Structure 1
Amino acid sequence: MRWRLALGTIRAHRASYLASAAVMAAGTALLTAFASLLETGLATGRDSGFLVMLPAILGGWTVAIVAFGVVSTVSLTIGHRERELALLRSIAATPRQIRQNVVLETVIVAAPAIAAGLPPGAWLGSVVLGRLVEGGLVGAGTEPATGWLSVAIGAGTSLCAALAAALISSRRAASIPPVRALAAAAPARALTRGRVAAGVALLVVGLSLSATTLFMDDGPLLSSTAGPAGVAVAVGLALLSPAAARPIGWLSEARLGAVGRMAARNLHAQARHTAGVASPLILLVGIAGGTLYMQSTEDSVHHGAGDVSVQLAPVNYLVVAMIITFTAIVVVNTLIAATRRRSREFGLLRLSAATRGQVLGVVAAEGVVTALLAIVLGTVAAAATTVPYALVKTGSPVASGPAWMYAAIAGGALLLVMLASVPTAVGALRTRPVDALSAP
């Protein structure tokens, strides 16, 4: 009975669960790639220095990135079902049953998604290994070894992150009073004590790692503190971003036109929703800006042709591209899921005499403001990586690299928001307003 109920729920929310599955599969692939390099280095014992050092330096903060991406996506999927879960409470479902059902649904979705991510992860690991061999950093003829360790790290981390998100989100869902099922869910607190504590703790960790970088010697291990510093600050700012979204309410009094004022009021009133959309975007801008400018600063320092840093640069750019791609997948899935959830709101606006063009204008304006907020916070996170790294490498706090690269990162973030939210809103507006009001 419980399995049939879980499968029925997944079918009813197919699009949301597919988004979660895509993120879990991509995260598993990324982690498996790093794990396979580590396992290869441990298995061969020959020329294994870089095979162990690379996943050791990059793998740790990649785990944090993947865990955050999976947790935020799964939490968003479950959060969108609060009204439905409250309805189950109203027909005598106990909090324990709610939690068990949510966890079971998450496991059913996670198992095939994680399994699907393992083969691409093994392939990505072999691609990175090939780059290391081409650069002369690993002996020719080294074959990838992808065994139980790679599977355990890749699959285990993704599954643990998904289960953690299910347990945290289902606990809140199970506490919803049954009377809430009779109306739309009331706005949840944007900042809880736990969220504030976690955000502040991560900021302290990130800034501490950033400060530690200043006292390290110039060498390959410099990125082992500079990189995680930016990731920790980015996640910390993402957790605290509801506070940053509150001042947006000031724009509702500005002369921005009806569409601009409505967008500002929506973003201010739904600070928690705004933060949920902005969080993966903050991570994307922070990671892209931090890692790319860290590598460009390294490239700007004159090295000999046989310098290890020169040989490692192509591998670093490949790894950065893999991480940015995963983060972009999280951003797109989050934006699509968040926009699809608003079909009832769009229907109500249409019934209140708003035209389709005005509704789309509101969605576009919200996207622009959200992207700008994420770009500002993401830039702060990137600075936690680039400033100390550049000071050690060049003596200047300004990272070396072309200005167009930052423009491309900021423009790419804005483009992702527009491509994910506006077409989804167009699809939602095809539903008749009256029918949209009865949507779950």
Structure 2
Amino acid sequence: MIRLVLSDLVRQSRVWLGVLFVIIATGFVGAITAGLLETGSVHGGAVQEGLSSTASAVIMFTVITALVVLGSAANLTISLQLRTYALWQLVGVRPVLVGVVVLAQLGIVGLVGAFVGCLLALPVFPSLFVWVFREWPDMQGTSVHLGGVSILIVTVAIGVVVLLGGLRSARRAARTPPIEALRDAEPPRVRMGWLRIVLTVATIGAVVALALNLDGGASMSTFSGQAVLLTPLIAAVFAAAGPLLFPLVLRAWTAAIPARASATWLLARNSARYRLSRSNAAIGPLMVAIALAGGLYTTAQTTAAAQAARTGSDAGFSLAPEGVVILLGGPLLLSGVAAAATVFMSSHARGREFALIQAVGSTPPTILLVAVWEAVAYAVTAVILGAAATGIGGFLIADALDLPGAAVSFPAMGLISGGGLLLLLAATVFPTAAALRTEVPRALAVE
């Protein structure tokens, strides 16, 4: 079995490299966060108090993003290889063994990627710590700590999350009849497993509890510390309900553009609607990134407006660049890598699809335009969901502060949306162009 596990990892390296990069980025961010907690616990006192409060917000933002990106990447990795797993069963590999092999592959990639990410964080963490906390008097001259125990905890935790994220897909790979998988490697299913249902209900409860407990009469620093978590929790609700919510939003807004507008748009729209695991894996990370950035700046601006209304001055909750980096740097890195990697992984697997389109008369420029429209469809869907999360969070915050409306930060959302679109375009167009260089008979040949 070990030989099968390792040989298939090598053979499908293009797909596994995509999820590996996502896990490496997660390990890097997780190690930075663990370093903050370890440094605080070693020094104690004011250092521990300051780092614990910072790390708690970082953990909140990072955990939400990591759960989304790791689960999506793990599920997509398995979905792209259902045809291979079906062939294994046809040559005599038992379904139970297929599931074991898939989980073993996820475990190996998860542990290796997380450990590599932690190692990459070791030389970066001291310099980042000095830059972020250079204005904090209590942090001057503080020695940083990121030891083996913290790295081990981060590595194991990420490995467990990767396994849990891919568990349902691994069971599907083992249970799907080979004939069904060979007929269509990715049937258009929209299902909410019990774990997602529990997560959705739990996050909705957390949003309701936090919204009810927002105290507009408290000090601005206390209120901001609570309110800044509201939009990320709303984004977590959207992500947990993604298998149901993402396709609905995608279908709703794309239906507004008539199919007769463009043949390339019709192909891109249908592909994005049909390949649900690929669409969800691309939309989820970008949606979370938009919501986190938009929510953080919207909270800051809305709180500042409330402070100005109360005191007559503009001094409110401000966002220093180093604060934004430590809070959003990790989640944005995870989201960007995940969005690009997932589209990159699936683009390679669609070589046969591109060849079929060419075989019926389409030209390479037409297929490239289809890829562009598909990336746009993913990005617009993510923007709609991210903006909705930000708007809902801003409305609740403004209501708690007795303001007529929220100061929604459109520039922050626009910046992240534009960057995400560029990443999706690069990850979609370049692999498509590379696939088009393969001769059509060779691409359509039976594997």
Query: Normalization by structure 1: what TM-score?
Result: 0.88
**Helix, strand or coil at the partner of 1:138:** helix
* Letter paired with 1:69: V
Q: How does 1:384-403 map to 2 (within 5 A)?
A: 384-391=392-399, 395-399=403-407, 401=409, 403=410
**Helix, strand or coil at the partner of 2:190:** coil
Q: How does 1:412-427 map to 2 (within 5 A)?
A: 412-427=419-434
The answer to whether residue 270 in structure 2 is matched with residue 265 in structure 1 is yes
What residue in structure 2 maps to residue 238 of structure 1?
242
Cα distance, 1:358 vs structure 2: 1.4
RMSD: 2.9
The answer to whether residue 183 in structure 2 is matched with residue 183 in structure 1 is yes
The counterpart of 1:316, out of the listed 303, 312, 324, is 324
- CA distance in 1 between counterparts of 2:231 and 2:263 reads 43
Task: Give the conservation status (yes or no) of the 8 Å contact 1:136–1:311.
Answer: no
What residue in structure 2 maps to residue 280 of structure 1?
285
The answer to whether residue 337 in structure 2 is matched with residue 329 in structure 1 is yes
Q: How does 1:24-423 map to 2 (within 5 A)?
A: 24-47=23-46, 48-131=48-131, 133-136=133-136, 138-180=138-180, 182-185=182-185, 187-192=187-192, 194=194, 197-198=197-198, 200-201=200-201, 204-205=204-205, 207-209=207-209, 211-212=211-212, 214-215=214-215, 217=218, 218-220=220-222, 221-223=225-227, 225-226=229-230, 228-239=232-243, 240-247=245-252, 250=255, 254-297=259-302, 314-391=322-399, 395-399=403-407, 401=409, 403-423=410-430
- CA distance in 2 between counterparts of 1:249 and 1:375 reads 13
Cα distance, 1:85 vs structure 2: 0.4
* Letter paired with 2:369: G
Q: How does 1:15-30 map to 2 (within 5 A)?
A: 15-30=14-29
Cα distance, 1:352 vs structure 2: 0.9
Does the C-alpha gap of structure 1 residues 225 and 406 become closer, same or farther in structure 2, counting only changes over 3 Å?
closer
Task: Spell out, residue by residue over 1:25-60, the C-alpha distance to the aligned partner (whole angstroms, 9 max, x if none).
Answer: 110111111111111111111322111111123213
- CA distance in 1 between counterparts of 2:166 and 2:195 reads 16
**Helix, strand or coil at the partner of 2:138:** coil
Cα distance, 1:73 vs structure 2: 0.9
Cα distance, 1:70 vs structure 2: 1.5
Cα distance, 1:259 vs structure 2: 1.6
* Letter paired with 1:84: T
The counterpart of 2:439, out of the listed 429, 432, 439, is 432
Identity of aligned residues (%): 22
* Letter paired with 2:411: W
Q: How many aligned positions are there?
A: 435
Cα distance, 1:327 vs structure 2: 1.0
Task: Spell out, residue by residue over 1:359-398, the C-alpha distance to the aligned partner (whole angstroms, 9 max, x if none).
Answer: 1121212221221111101111223443334555683532
Task: Give the conservation status (yes or no) of the 8 Å contact 2:291–2:413.
Answer: no
Segment of structure 1 superposing worse, 216-225 or 283-292: 216-225
* Letter paired with 2:14: A
- CA distance in 2 between counterparts of 1:362 and 1:98 reads 35
Query: Normalization by structure 2: what TM-score?
Result: 0.87
Task: Give the conservation status (yes or no) of the 8 Å contact 1:252–1:261.
Answer: no
Does the C-alpha gap of structure 1 residues 30 and 208 become closer, same or farther in structure 2, counting only changes over 3 Å?
same
* Letter paired with 1:56: S
Segment of structure 1 superposing worse, 187-196 or 31-40: 187-196
**Helix, strand or coil at the partner of 2:390:** helix
Instruction: Give the gaps of 5 or more residues in structure 2.
Output: none
Task: Spell out, residue by residue over 1:142-194, the C-alpha distance to the aligned partner (whole angstroms, 9 max, x if none).
Answer: 11122245224421221111111332221010011122354332514123454
* Letter paired with 1:264: R
**Helix, strand or coil at the partner of 1:191:** coil
* Letter paired with 1:241: F
Cα distance, 1:230 vs structure 2: 3.6
- CA distance in 2 between counterparts of 1:4 and 1:53 reads 47
**Helix, strand or coil at the partner of 1:56:** helix
